[in-house]
Copies of this chain bind each other. A is one copy, B any other.
């Protein structure tokens, strides 16, 4: 696939009381444009979830083109809950494959910290089906993934300590990442005894509320990093519809399609970003993507295999749990880390990282996007 990365940009993730949604978007885009040596850009795709509901700001595509002086080019925003960023990148890839565009600016952005936690929660719940009785009964996303975790414990023999190992690993990765939201060291004990959010998920098992933006420029023009495969799948929009609670079908499908397109398998991947909205999600998705057999993902944590120093390095950026989770930006921030890894410039650099994979999830497994990328030359 003739799609290459010509530049990347990312704001620090965290709290930006003095930056607007637009300001964050423009900051990340400007960095990517400068890194790519200001190419002629043919289109802009922005991933964003809550601009309308908590910022009263849509038209982010047109705003980016206008304020960056890119001319009267086609632009749009795409939404697919927490997978909005990954879907935005995929739309840019389709634009290039279609022959309509040579170079596309893709960005993801979210500003969430200026409103109350309950407003954020209410807005996030737009990623559930309004007509489902489970939403009316009060299910939230921590509730959904908490149920999954309890079922996983029951089926596999895993325990809350395995979830804590995910949280600790990702925090230890984030400590090395200057753009991460949480860089304070912690301990397994602090994680295990932290405030319970929804049994068995404690505070450290849940991704935070975050402001931030990330951007990437992709082009037909060859560079040192190539996108080998872009794949997307959808899944159930209500928890009760899942045939097997421990199977995130969209993740499995999107991974299988990506591997087939790339002519690669999980054993070929050197470095991985997985959508760890909750610690539990990282474990289940690491199985769905074929890195471990079903029901055995938690064992890899005991052995440290998913650390940056392990043989299956997952979330070397710190992941959503500790890098932060500005919803629309997350999918692009994953790509940002993979590109740094393939360039040999990443925090928690993995040796000989030649092939990377990023997986971005939305809703109750409603969306999953997988991109596989490779280092050239």
Contacts and interface: CB of A to CB of B under 8 A. Distances in A.
A130 B362 contact: no
Given A52-B52, A58-B127, A76-B91, 6 more contacts: A52-B123, A59-B129, A62-B235, A66-B236, A67-B237, A72-B235
A85 B98 CA distance: 20
A174 interface: no
Interface in A236-256: 236-237, 241, 249-250, 253
A55 B49 CA distance: 14
A20 B135 CA distance: 15
A59 B363 contact: yes
Given A78-B78, A123-B52, A366 B62 contact: yes
A178 interface: no
Given A53-B52, A62-B235, A94-B100, A77 B74 contact: no
Interface of A: 20-22, 49-53, 55-59, 61-63, 65-67, 72-81, 87, 90-91, 93-95, 97-100, 122-123, 125-131, 232-237, 241, 249-250, 253, 362-363, 366-367
A86 to B, nearest CB: 10
**So how many copies of this chain end up in the complex?**
2
B94 A57 contact: no
A234 B20 contact: no
B66 A75 contact: no
A72 B130 contact: no
Contacts of A55: 126, 130
Pick from A57, A76, A100, A237 the residue with the most CB of B within 10 Å: A76
A363 B66 CA distance: 13
Contact of A233 (B72, B76, B87, B131): B72
Contacts of A99: 97
Nearest to A88: B76
B125 A56 contact: yes
A248 B236 CA distance: 42
Contact of A362 (B59, B81, B95, B362): B59
A237 B94 contact: no
B130 A62 contact: no
Given A72-B234, A237-B59, A253-B72, A366 B66 contact: yes
Contacts of A73: 233-234
